[in-house]
Amino acid sequence: MQTGTPALLDGRLEAPPPLGLYVHMPWCVKKCPYCDFNSHAQRGEIPQARYIDALIRDLEQAVPSVWGREITSIFLGGGTPSLFSPEGIDRLLTQCRTLLQVSPLAEITLEANPGTFEAARFRGYRQAGVNRLSLGIQSFNPDHLKALGRIHDGLEAKAAAEQALALFDRVNLDLMYALPQQSLAQVREDLETAIALAPGHISAYHLTLEPNTPFAAAPPPLPEDDLAADMQVLVEEILGTAGYGHYETSAFARPGQPCRHNLNYWTFGDYLGLGAGAHGKLSFHDRIERQARVKHPRAYMEAVEGGGGHIAETRSLSRSDRVFEFMMNALRLNEGFDLALFTARTGLAPSELARGLVQAQNLGLVRRDLHRVTPTLRGRRFLNDLLQLFLS
């Protein structure tokens, strides 16, 4: 794993980490009852041109903060970015390449919904420069899709995946498990269907009840904890047997297919966040900052058009923030991290981790030597408990 130039040990960085670009597209056809993302159900026509104008203006204002740095990945997330036209995506990516130093080998991902899939539309995204598609399948079972409030059925999900794989060399299929009234056999069926399609990457998420969602207010009948744990084990076993390396908590990939944009998150890299509600992290020689944009799309567009005020929050990370946030990300990686990476990305000495690591090792949550920290299987199963040890 590349760690970059060693950092000074007073919190100052000699060199910034790799830099990605995240662009938030906040509309979707229908808000799913489990979703706590900043997404808004489509009502009438989406103001595509106006929103892309705002994104470009936001980018223009942000350029000085990342001047001269190479962009290694771009991720168009949402919401449902595939509601935007290929022409709009092309215009946005063209401006990104014009204003930023985008690597010719940059991974450019677009999130898509099977319910909005049209072959010609997706060919247009490919021509615009998108080279990786992330398809929100969630399940191939029509009953589970209905329970999740998805707008596609199982046949549409499979057809969309087949078309995506015909058009893109790199495709991720999102699946969820521990769904309302789901059985272990039905988890297996979803996995086997996805594997038969042969994508390079599969994300498998445990459904959780997030605050301020309809599912949290009126919980559906979910599998008991023991059954949900059996489902997690089954997911790991089946995907592992099929040749998918389990490289991150919810991510499985064939060789050479891990999501580079997300790996940058987990290794505490930087990312510029554009769009309504987008978050970002930027490192400078003397500080590490997090930013958040205004959440509501209309308020975001109006603020950008007014020449400022679209950044709702900027804060510098304290030493304890850096420790916890680095660990919150890096411990999601099954292979763990080199201690040199901690120093390079935080500007802090590994001794800042000592107390937490001793506790974690005594509890059987990590393995470590002089150079590397790796979460154990127990540590991965009880990740929240592990992370608590690094809170100030």
For the stretch 89-141, pLDDT in tens is: 999 999 999 999 999 999 999 999 887 777 888 999 999 999 999 999 999 99
23 and 160 assigned to the same domain: yes
Would the pLDDT of 8 be above 60?
A: no
Closest by CA to 151, choosing from 223, 82, 218, is: 82
Provide the pLDDT confidence category of residue 3 given band limits of 50, 70 and 90: very low
Cβ–Cβ < 8 Å for 54, 304 = yes
pLDDT tens figures, 66-95: 999 999 999 999 989 999 999 999 999 999
If one compares 149 and 7, the residue with the highest pLDDT of the two is 149
Nearest to 281 by CA among 15, 101, 21: 21
Q: Are residues 348 and 240 in the same domain?
A: no
Residues 216 and 324 in one domain: no
Quick one: pLDDT at residue 42? 80
Are residues 197 and 339 both part of a single domain?
no
Tell me the percentage of the chain whose pLDDT exceeds 70. 98
pLDDT at 21 over 50: yes
pLDDT score, position 131: 97
Which tokens is 302 given?
């109006």
Longest dimension (CA), the chain: 58
Residue 217 resides in a domain = yes
CA-CA distance, 11 to 15, in Å (whole number)?
A: 12
Average pLDDT value over all residues in the chain: 93
| Domain encompassing residue 386 | 319-392
Q: Supply the pLDDT for residue 9.
A: 58
Distance CA 302, CA 60 (A): 16
Q: Is residue 67 part of a domain?
A: yes
Confidence of residue 278 (pLDDT cuts 50, 70, 90): very high
CATH of the domain at 172: 3.20.20.70
The predicted structure's pLDDT at residue 2: 43
Whether the pLDDT of residue 57 is over 60: the answer is yes
Average pLDDT score over residue span 222-236? 96
Cα–Cα distance list, 292 to 158, 277, 278 (Å): 36, 6, 6
Domain count, the chain: 2
The string of pLDDT tens digits covering residues 167-207 is 999 999 999 999 999 999 999 999 999 999 999 999 999 99
Give yes or no: residues 124 and 224 share one domain. yes
Average pLDDT over residues 375-388: 96
Give pTM, 2 decimals. 0.94
Q: Indicate whether 259 and 330 sit together in one domain.
A: no
Domain CATH for 363? 1.10.10.920
Q: Is residue 110 part of a domain?
A: yes
Alpha helix positions (H), the chain: 48-62, 86-99, 119-128, 142-147, 154-167, 184-197, 214-217, 225-241, 260-266, 297-305, 319-330, 339-346, 354-362, 377-381, 383-388
What pLDDT is stored for residue 1 in this prediction?
42
Contact 336, 379 (CB under 8 A): no
